[in-house]
Every structure is written in C-alpha cells, then in structure tokens.
Chains A and B, each alone.
Chain A
C-alpha cells in the first residue's frame, strides 16, 4: 500500500495524518485516564464511561448553542465554559452513580460490568429522549479553525493542537493531584491496601466516590474534545469503551506515561492507516494489533511488577 508513494510524500502523509490524529489522541488520553483512575482504585470497569463522555459532548453542544443564541460576541470562549461544565455535570452524575450503584457491587467486578452496561443503555435512551436520535454538531469558533502551515505540504490544525495542549494539561493536573494532594495520597493508600487505609482512618467510601466522580468528570472533558472530531449522537460513546480499555491495558494499568504512550500509538496508527485503507479496516488492523500484542504480553507495555 505504500509502494505508490515517494518517500517525501509518505513523510508528509504521515505527518499530516499524525497531526490530524491529535484530537483522537486527546480523547483517548482523557477517556483512558478516567477509566484507569477508577479501575486502579476500585478494580471496576465502568462500561458507561463512553456515555459519560457523550454527556460531556452534549453539555458542550448546549453551551455552544447558548452562546450562539444569546452571547454571539463571546462565542470565541464558549469552549472553556463548556469544558468546565462538562466536567462538573459528568462528575456529579458519576458520584450519584457511585453512591447508588457501584458501592453495592464492591468486589464483584464482573457484575459491575453488567450493571454499568445497563446504566449505559439507560443513559443512551435518555439522550435519545432529550436530544433526539439525530446526531448534533457544534460550530467551531473562528480562532480554532484553520491550520498553521509548517512546510508547504504539512499543516497543523489549530484545534488539534489546542485540544492536545488541553489534554496534556489535564493529565499533568491529575498527575499533580495524584502525587501532591491529600486526595491523591488517600487514593494511593487505598490502592496499596484498602483494609489498612480504612483502619488508619481514611474515609475509603468518600475516596471511592470522589475518585469515581473525577474519573467520570474527565470523561466529560473528553466529550468536550470529542465534539471537535465528530458529531454527537446517543450511541456515539458505545464503541469507545473498548478502545479506551485497550488503551489502558496496552499502556500497562497503573502507569500514566504508559497510558499516554499507548493512546498516542493507537490513535496515530489508526489515523495514519486511515489514509491508506478504509476507515473500518484501519480500525480493525489497529485493534487487532493491540489485541494480538496483549495476548503475547498481557501486562501491557509499561507494567509494574505488582503483588497479587
């Protein structure tokens, strides 16, 4: 498939597609971070994670419409407001879900898969009832459109760059939160030894709830980023749970750098392959490669040696 192109062309294609894949990369990183935090602390996979992302996307859509209708002058900054709101809304819902559902299923990870899947169905139907079955899209503000020409064949899309910077800052913020804040200390204590953490007076229940909320909130922010690459529909989030989980596992659960590296390689592989093959085959090949590698190396790329 590469034979028809010269080296120079290939280079440009790789670079262009690579930059085009930046938003996908950002979405993956944010989604995976949220999933990984929750999985790391509670051993729970939230199958409705994609729906929390879509919730963030809908919030972004609503905010953009609000600005368009009532404050067109300020439209340029709607995205920042939307992002914050997406975090708050998705996070709040996450905490409610943890309180009503997840905490009752502690130590039953397979059952949690099923229950959160049920939640995802309910959320999908809610989206459908509220926003209709048609997909909705946002208008991207003027300043985010266009691209910076790097050479005469390679251009960098501004929104991609922006969203990536955003994703990286959020990752950094979470890193700081994890290793500098009291919450982070508690989370790490609970991960290391839940019983012990409980015994020394850490409110593990509250830590769990907060963790779940933050994980879902970050998914909401991913949803805000998602509006830049796709239109939002009730079931748009469904496929992302598989991608996201693969990103987490591929990177080695429990490793932030690993998660970022694996989100990068998966999104880039997919984006570059898309140029040469149909979108669906690019996806098949990428996922197949990841699953194949995971079968040979189930601990992922950057696994720590953990005690069973």
Chain B
C-alpha cells in the first residue's frame, strides 16, 4: 500500500486550518468582546442589525460561491423569517387592553385601520411561540424547496435562475405592499414590544439579543463550515465547474442544488427573525429587489468563497453605508455602484482574496517557520 502525502489525511482531519482558525478567533473577539466594549447600546444594536445580514451572506457563500447558484431573491427568505416572528410579536402587542381604542380591539392596529374586523385565519397560529419558531425556518425553507424543485429539476440555472428569483422578490414586495390590511403594507409590521412578556425595547434586552444573535451566527458559520468540508462541499464546487460530469459521477445534481438553496434560505430566515427582534419591526423594504442584491454584494466584498469573509464583508459595507450615506448620500450611491463593478472586475475574491494575496505572505515573511514539517512526497 502506498503511503499518502500527509496532507490528504490532514485536510480531512482538521475542521479548520490555521488561517481559518485565526480568522474565526479574530471574528469572535470582535463580535463578542471588542464591539460590546467599545460601543454604546445604540451602536451595538446597529452592529447587531448588520450581523443579521451576515446570515444571508454566509448562505450565499454556499449557494453562489461554492455551488454557482446566484439567487437575487434572498430577501424573500430574510423577509419571510422576519415577518413570521413579527406576526407573533405583533399579536402579543395587540392585546384587547392595549388596543382598546380601536373599533375592533384585539387585532393588530393596521388591520383595524384597514377596516378588517377579525383576525384572518392564517394569522391565528402565530399566537403560539413554538409554532412561530418552527415557522420562521420552515416557511422560507418550504418556499425555497418549491422554487428550487421547480427550477432545478427542469435544469433551469444561471442567469435565468437569478432573474426568476429576483422576479419573485419583486412580486412578494408588491404583494405585501398591496395587501396592507393583512401585512401592514409599506410600513410593515411595527411597534413590537415584548417576547413572551419580556420587553425587547430596553437597552439590556437589546444587548442580550445582540449576544444571542452572535451565538446563532457562529452556529450557522460552524454548520456552513461543516457542509463545505464534507464531500457535499466538494460536490458543490464540482457542480459549479462541470455540472454535466457530476451527473455522470452518479449524483442527482438537482437535489444538491435544492439542498444548498434551502440551507441558504434557512440561514437568511434566521437572520430575518433576529432582525425583527433587534430592530423592532419588519417591512417590505428588506424583501425586495434592492436589498436582495445588496446582500449579494456583502458576500462578494467579503469574498464569495470565504465563509468568514462574508461576515467581514457584511460588517464593512454596512458600516461604510451608515457612515457615508449620512454625510454624503450622493457619493454613497456612486460608491455602491462602483463597488458592484470593482468587486467583479478588480477583486473577485473580495477581502478574503486580498488577505490571502497581500497579508498572509507578510506573516510568512515576518515569522520564518522553524522548518515546518513538509508533507512527505
């Protein structure tokens, strides 16, 4: 039996390589220590909001970076997750006492404003927190499953898939805005107060939610890393480059695409739900074409092939957006456009690529490894 280059076993054995470990540790330090120490509750909450987009970006790394499936409709799943939780919170906030001044007390205020006199049937189950938590993930995943099955089983992919997902995001937004009696319309579902009696508007609650959000994000990062390190991760890459060949290696390509699309949807949905909790409302402006494609740019700036990069990219772009769009809204719009172009033309591997190219060699030079054990050939 031939001996193997130790790399073959090493690659499989370790969950994270050195750089990834370093990156993960740095990110954890930033999210769990530095930001909470450095920022006031308001700013921390803002960063918590950014981190909810990172869920989407991480899902996109798997779908787009690895699998080559570019969804321009991730806002659909972010929104569905966020709306599911918002419905629960809204019902909790709409007790008959709190809404006594309405013509129909006990239903959400926007329904009352739209002359609706009874809670619609499909709102009823959202009285239950358990149901809601399941729905937050299940509804978007089922939706993704339907879209994915319809498209991938018929071998629709590439730009077709991208634009169809974008069209669905557009349809959903128009629908939500148009049906304001049931959805809160363009303002969304606002004025959310408590989660099972716990006031989510206080500074302490927001800080707690920030940490919960961070923990969930790291959970998703670990899951994403697990998927990418598995054989499934390599199949995704193989599929991106040579879909045809993967079929003749014996795999049902559609089922892999559906899986990764659903996984991305689940991540996005969790992000959406955490958004609702931390920001206190959900509205169609986080569902449609524009937010969906912006989420792609967060991922691209971080590096479409890097799970950690996606988080860094999300934080950076959003921080820049908040900083610049306050002072120079016009410039920001130009900057955003330029970013889309630059990220495909100039640095297609994003921050992660730049890091690999420019920073890692520096480290290597600074610290000549004490005759690192080279894999035996």
- A and B in direct contact, judged by CB atoms within 8 A: yes
Binding site for B on A (CB under 8 A): 43, 45, 101, 104-105, 108-115, 117-122, 124-125, 128-129, 238-239, 242, 245-246, 249, 278, 280-281, 283-284, 287-288, 291, 294-296, 298
For B343, the closest partner residue in chain A by CB is: A114
Complex CA–CA separation, A43 to B157 (angstroms):
13
What would 8 A/B residue contacts be, using CB atoms closer than 8 Å? A108-B344, A110-B68, A111-B344, A114-B293, A121-B333, A122-B338, A128-B330, A129-B330
Chain B facing A: main interface SS: helix
For B345, the closest partner residue in chain A by CB is: A104
Complex CA–CA separation, A294 to B163 (angstroms):
12
**B340/A298 in contact, CB under 8 A:** no
Interface size class on chain B is: 35 or more
Q: In the A-B complex, list the 5 residue pairs whose CB atoms are closest, starting with the nearest.
A: A118-B340, A121-B337, A122-B337, A280-B178, A295-B150
For A125, the closest partner residue in chain B by CB is: B333
**B300/A114 in contact, CB under 8 A:** yes
From A109, A238, A278, A280, B159 is in contact (CB under 8 Å) with: A109
**A115/B171 in contact, CB under 8 A:** no
For A278, the closest partner residue in chain B by CB is: B178
**A284/B150 in contact, CB under 8 A:** no
Complex CA–CA separation, A288 to B173 (angstroms):
12
B158 within 8 A of A: yes
Measured between beta carbons, the chain B residues less than 8 angstroms from A296 are 150
**A113/B70 in contact, CB under 8 A:** yes
From B167, B177, B293, A246 is in contact (CB under 8 Å) with: B167
**A119/B167 in contact, CB under 8 A:** no
Given contacts A122-B334, A125-B337, A242-B163, contact A298 B154 (CB under 8 A): yes
Given contacts A111-B348, A113-B159, A114-B300, contact A121 B174 (CB under 8 A): no
B263 within 8 A of A: no
**B72/A113 in contact, CB under 8 A:** yes
Seed contacts A124-B333, A291-B168; 4 additional CB < 8 Å A-B pairs: A101-B345, A114-B293, A121-B334, A280-B175
For B64, the closest partner residue in chain A by CB is: A110
B296 within 8 A of A: yes
B318 within 8 A of A: no
Shortest distance between the CB of A35 and any CB in chain B (Å): 10
Measured between beta carbons, the chain B residues less than 8 angstroms from A45 are 159, 162-163
Shortest distance between the CB of B43 and any CB in chain A (Å): 27
**A287/B341 in contact, CB under 8 A:** no
Measured between beta carbons, the chain A residues less than 8 angstroms from B341 are 101, 115, 118-119
Provide the B140-172 mask, 1 if CB < 8 A to any CB of A, else 0: 000000000011001110111011101110110
For A283, the closest partner residue in chain B by CB is: B174
Shortest distance between the CB of A200 and any CB in chain B (Å): 28
From A110, A245, A288, B171 is in contact (CB under 8 Å) with: A288
For A248, the closest partner residue in chain B by CB is: B163
Measured between beta carbons, the chain B residues less than 8 angstroms from A242 are 163, 166-167, 170, 289
Complex CA–CA separation, A82 to B34 (angstroms):
58
**A109/B338 in contact, CB under 8 A:** no
**A110/B159 in contact, CB under 8 A:** yes
B297 within 8 A of A: yes
Complex CA–CA separation, A51 to B184 (angstroms):
31
Measured between beta carbons, the chain A residues less than 8 angstroms from B160 are 249, 298
Complex CA–CA separation, A43 to B160 (angstroms):
11
Given contacts A101-B345, A121-B333, A128-B330, contact A115 B340 (CB under 8 A): yes
**B167/A291 in contact, CB under 8 A:** yes
Complex CA–CA separation, A105 to B339 (angstroms):
16
**B334/A125 in contact, CB under 8 A:** yes
Shortest distance between the CB of A94 and any CB in chain B (Å): 16
Given contacts A118-B340, A291-B171, A295-B151, contact A110 B162 (CB under 8 A): yes
For A298, the closest partner residue in chain B by CB is: B156
B129 within 8 A of A: no
Measured between beta carbons, the chain B residues less than 8 angstroms from A278 are 178
B154-208, CB < 8 A from A: 154-156, 158-160, 162-164, 166-168, 170-171, 174-175, 177-178
Complex CA–CA separation, A294 to B333 (angstroms):
34
From B151, B170, B336, B348, A121 is in contact (CB under 8 Å) with: B336
Complex CA–CA separation, A245 to B338 (angstroms):
24
From A105, A110, A115, A118, B70 is in contact (CB under 8 Å) with: A110
Provide the B288-308 mask, 1 if CB < 8 A to any CB of A, else 0: 011001001100100000000
Complex CA–CA separation, A122 to B341 (angstroms):
10
Complex CA–CA separation, A166 to B345 (angstroms):
39
Measured between beta carbons, the chain B residues less than 8 angstroms from A122 are 333-334, 337-338
Complex CA–CA separation, A104 to B293 (angstroms):
21
Complex CA–CA separation, A238 to B348 (angstroms):
25
Complex CA–CA separation, A220 to B64 (angstroms):
33
Measured between beta carbons, the chain B residues less than 8 angstroms from A109 are 158-159
Shortest distance between the CB of B83 and any CB in chain A (Å): 17
For A297, the closest partner residue in chain B by CB is: B154
Measured between beta carbons, the chain A residues less than 8 angstroms from B177 are 280
Measured between beta carbons, the chain B residues less than 8 angstroms from A291 are 164, 167-168, 171
